[in-house]
């Protein structure tokens, strides 16, 4: 798992970091803490290992406390009650804010966000945390803490909203993969925006497809064979759309950027505008009662 590559890693193999258009759109603080090769004390071996495992690792990153909360809540939910070893009971997950559409319909809208901190089993939380740390530090460093937080939590909300609307009855959804697919979405967006400048496009495309397929395979395997397809799709669309808007200051933008920007805004508006009426107005006639605590 330590050798899993991010899409940003693949992109930087093709182009020198400071000569890419995306570099000009990034925050000014991006390089200040990365090129300090002279005058600073050498990093300890554990820090160097963490930086190898998680590129651009930083203790000041917002993705680090998010990941700690994921682990803490997983341990708490397991300690309270389990259905099988290391698998939190469903009623505990619902109590802690899992995505349970009938309760969202009753007005508990916080269930569109809180599932990002909850997980179904040990391998589920392990992979999601590893994945978001592997990709998250690099993305946060590129766009800054605030923009990363908006990307992460907006992707989670959009993913859970689309999932709750599409799969309403008898479903319980938890996990950070909705936000994780938002990170994949913005990485794909970056590749699309620089595609016209890339060399060896066939290799880049194969790497990108292989990376996404590997992520889906691991999520399917480690989550007990259950995938929230609509949640992942919602997170992916949100991440890609936000990536388009974040890079509006890009130099040498592709010719299609203007209409892609309009489509991105349309997606970010249309998805909640269409999902909320369906979620709250359509009677699904579910046969299972709301879980009791």
Q: Which of 143, 117, 142 is nearest to 129 (CA)?
A: 117
pLDDT band with cut points at 50, 70 and 90 for residue 169: confident
Amino acid 71: pLDDT = 98
Whether residue 41 lies inside any domain: the answer is no
Please state the domain count of the chain. Answer: 1
Whether residue 193 lies inside any domain: the answer is yes
Taking the C-alpha atoms of residue 199 and residue 251, their distance in angstroms, rounded to an integer, is 18
Q: Which of 25-29, 123-127, 244-248 has the lowest mean pLDDT?
A: 25-29
Whether residue 52 lies inside any domain: the answer is no
Amino acid 17: pLDDT = 43
Taking the C-alpha atoms of residue 239 and residue 27, their distance in angstroms, rounded to an integer, is 18
Amino acid 98: pLDDT = 96
Whether residue 134 lies inside any domain: the answer is yes
The pLDDT of 5-16, averaged and rounded, is 45
**Active-site residue identified among 155, 177, 200, 226:** 177
Q: Which of 32-46, 118-132, 257-271 has the lowest mean pLDDT?
A: 32-46
Taking the C-alpha atoms of residue 23 and residue 29, their distance in angstroms, rounded to an integer, is 11
Assess contact for 279 and 164: CB atoms under 8 A.
Answer: yes
Taking the C-alpha atoms of residue 10 and residue 47, their distance in angstroms, rounded to an integer, is 23
Phi-psi region of 64 (alpha: psi -120 to 50; beta: other; left: phi over 0): alpha
Q: For 78-113, what is each residue's pLDDT tens digit?
A: 999 998 899 999 999 999 999 999 999 999 999 999
Residue 36 annotated in active site? no
Whether residue 87 lies inside any domain: the answer is yes
Whether residue 81 lies inside any domain: the answer is yes
- Say how many Å lie between the first and final Cα of the chain, rounded: 38
Share of the chain above pLDDT 90, in %: 54
Residue 29 annotated in active site? no
Instruction: Report the CATH number that the domain containing residue 269 is assigned in CATH.
Output: 1.20.1540.10
Segments forming the whole domain that contains residue 151: 58-280
The neighbour count for residue 280, using CB atoms within 10 Å, is 12
Whether residue 7 lies inside any domain: the answer is no
Taking the C-alpha atoms of residue 94 and residue 170, their distance in angstroms, rounded to an integer, is 12
**Active-site residue identified among 58, 232, 258, 261:** 232
Whether residue 174 lies inside any domain: the answer is yes
Amino acid 266: pLDDT = 98
Taking the C-alpha atoms of residue 218 and residue 271, their distance in angstroms, rounded to an integer, is 27
Taking the C-alpha atoms of residue 284 and residue 280, their distance in angstroms, rounded to an integer, is 10
């Amino acid at each position: 798992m330590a050798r899993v590559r991010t899409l940003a890693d693949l992109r930087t193999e093709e182009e020198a970091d400071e000569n890419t258009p995306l570099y000009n759109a990034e925050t000014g603080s991006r390089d200040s803490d990365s090129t300090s090769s002279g005058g600073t004390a050498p990093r300890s071996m554990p820090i160097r290992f963490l930086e190898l495992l998680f590129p651009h690792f930083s203790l000041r990153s917002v993705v680090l406390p998010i990941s700690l909360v994921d682990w803490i809540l997983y341990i708490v939910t397991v300690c309270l009650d389990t259905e099988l070893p290391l698998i939190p009971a469903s009623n505990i997950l619902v109590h802690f804010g899992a995505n349970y559409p009938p309760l969202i319909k009753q007005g508990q809208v916080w269930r569109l966000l809180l599932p990002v901190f909850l997980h179904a089993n040990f391998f589920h939380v392990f992979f999601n945390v590893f994945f978001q740390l592997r990709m998250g530090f690099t993305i946060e460093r590129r766009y800054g803490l605030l923009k990363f937080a908006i990307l992460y939590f907006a992707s989670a909300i959009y993913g859970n909203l689309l999932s709750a609307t599409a799969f309403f009855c008898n479903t319980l959804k938890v996990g950070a993969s909705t936000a994780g697919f938002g990170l994949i979405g913005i990485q794909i967006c970056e590749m699309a925006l620089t595609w016209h400048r890339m060399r060896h496009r066939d290799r880049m495309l194969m790497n990108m497809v292989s990376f996404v397929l590997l992520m889906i395979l691991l999520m399917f395997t480690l989550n007990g064979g259950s995938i929230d397809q609509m949640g992942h799709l919602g997170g992916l669309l949100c991440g890609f759309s936000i990536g388009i808007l974040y890079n509006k200051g890009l130099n040498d933008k592709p010719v299609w950027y203007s209409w892609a920007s309009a489509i991105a805004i349309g997606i970010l508006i249309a998805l909640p505008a269409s999902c909320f009426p369906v979620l709250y107005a359509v009677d699904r006639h579910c046969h299972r009662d709301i879980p009791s605590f």
